[in-house]
Amino acid sequence: MVNQFKNEPTYNLKAVVKETGIKPDTLRAWERRYGLPQPERTEGGHRIFTQRDIETLKWLSARQEEGLSISRAVDLWHKFESEGQDPLLSLDYDTGPATEPLKVLSGKTIDESRKAWVAACSEFDEDLAEQILNQAFAQFSPETVVLEVLVKGLHSIGEGWYRGEITVQQEHFASSLALRRLDALIAASPTPTRKRTVLIACPPEDEHTFSSLVLTYLLRRRGRRALFLGANVPFAQFSDALDQTKPALVVMTAQDLHTAAQQLPFSDLLAERGIPFAFGGLVFNLRPGLHEHIRGHLLGETLAEVPDAVERLIAAGAKPPEVEPIPDEYLNAIDALKVKENAVIAGLSHFLQDTSMDNCHMALANLHLTRGVLAALKLGELDYLNQDILWAQGLIENYQIPPESLIDYLRTYGEVIQNTLGDVGQPITEAMQSLIEELNAG
């Protein structure tokens, strides 16, 4: 194996510190605990380093930036050596931006890494899943691994659950591993170099933090001060958080129609205070035009697009767009359904007591559909319910549930709304009838 780095001892400790940015105490600790590097000594006992020693230190430092502990980085170094490979020649330790062409190491591509990670998670093999991630971080830039392995991997697992091929337990296990790795990456992020703050949050009743954490990490990798407030952020006291953080931009994510509507009071508050608001998430990809009902700016269809969109909005000081007012008939239906929601639920339970649906699933279905109806009304378009119903239809088919059960349920829901709300509920009953017609036609 040809060694392209000179092994002649040339550099003193001060030169190495300047070249690598690693503190002297850290260099001594690595040498003492892990034997990397192993500099020679002068007659006076002073350390003297080779060019290869410097490259070794840069390699270890790069692995830390990618989320590995120093002990894991050293283990990876020794693994390469045990396989007859020179770590400095086997991978690009000075990782470039995620837009660079993906590199291949030992025949492994990023797609193969993702498939291997998904398979390990499906087998509940935590050690193997972690090893696969460590190997991926050693081969590719950290942004690439996060977007191509974790984000796409979890999406693949979610699709597997939808098709009935993956259990809820497998999905939760993979999500837990991904979130744990993201937390570690964020904790290891460098100190921000751009001081204007981006505030990131999940709206009320939204527990899906993964996309928000990915965004937090991607922005921090760019030197942006990104603060994540967590899941299920209440509207009360949100104004106080704005006073304390003084953000240049507030970002929220939403995965379904209900949580998209939960963003509305936040967008109104931010518009009043002159703070730019941006949002994104799966629900906006599935429903073209939905973003036009929220006083903010859509960030893009993929997480990879978001950091650039964030920087453009901050630079432009983006003002909130105008939105169409909600029709009066929708406002009246919202008020009536809020007041009589319990009566609607009770009516559904009475109508469905002779069906095969158990009480637990019935309660979840009633809650989900009623939330969806309210959200669609608040967002000014009941047709937004169609995507949820089509999704439910596919789920029913994948789990071998009689397809007519969904049509019966929607028909019953429309009848209960009519009996409970009367004429005020007409927009909802018409929407149910339209959904039934679409399902019958399909």
| Domain 328-441: assigned CATH number | 1.10.490.20
pLDDT tens for each residue of 16-34: 888 888 888 888 889 888 8
What are the two backbone dihedrals, phi and then psi, of residue 222, each rounded to the nearest 5 degrees? -90, 5
The answer to whether 250 and 275 have CB atoms below 8 angstroms apart is yes
Task: Look at residue 104 and tell me whether its pLDDT is greater than 90.
Answer: no
Contact 283, 277 (CB under 8 A): no
In the numeric block, which tokens belong to residue 173? 């296990």
pLDDT of residue 274 exceeding 80: yes
In tens, the pLDDT along 131-140 reads 899 888 888 8
* List of residues 6+ apart from 155 with CB closer than 8 A: none
CA 212 to chain centre: 5
Structure tokens at 397: 């088919």
Domain 110-185 has CATH 3.40.50.1010: no
**Whole-number Cα distances in Å, 280 to 69, 212, 253, 301:** 33, 10, 5, 7
pLDDT band at 103 (very low <50, low <70, confident <90, very high): very low
**Domain chopping of the chain, boundaries:** 11-90, 110-185, 194-316, 328-441
Q: What is the pLDDT of residue 356?
A: 53
Lay out the sheet containing 40-41: strands in order across.
11-12, 47-49, 40-41
Architecture of domain 11-90: Orthogonal Bundle (1.10)
Q: Which candidate, 271, 311, 272, places its Cα nearest to that of 295?
A: 271
Opening angle at CA 281, ends 431 and 236, nearest 5: 85
Looking at domain 194-316, does it have CATH number 3.40.50.280?
Answer: yes
CA distance 390 to 72: 46
Q: Are 306 and 218 in contact (CB under 8 A)?
A: yes
pLDDT in tens, 425-441: 999 999 999 888 888 87
| Same fold? 110-185, 194-316 | no
| End-to-end Cα, the chain, rounded Å | 64
Q: How far, in Å, CA of 268 to CA of 238, rounded?
A: 12
Q: Is the pLDDT of residue 271 over 60?
A: yes
Contacts for 92 with CB less than 8 Å, ≥ 6 apart: 103
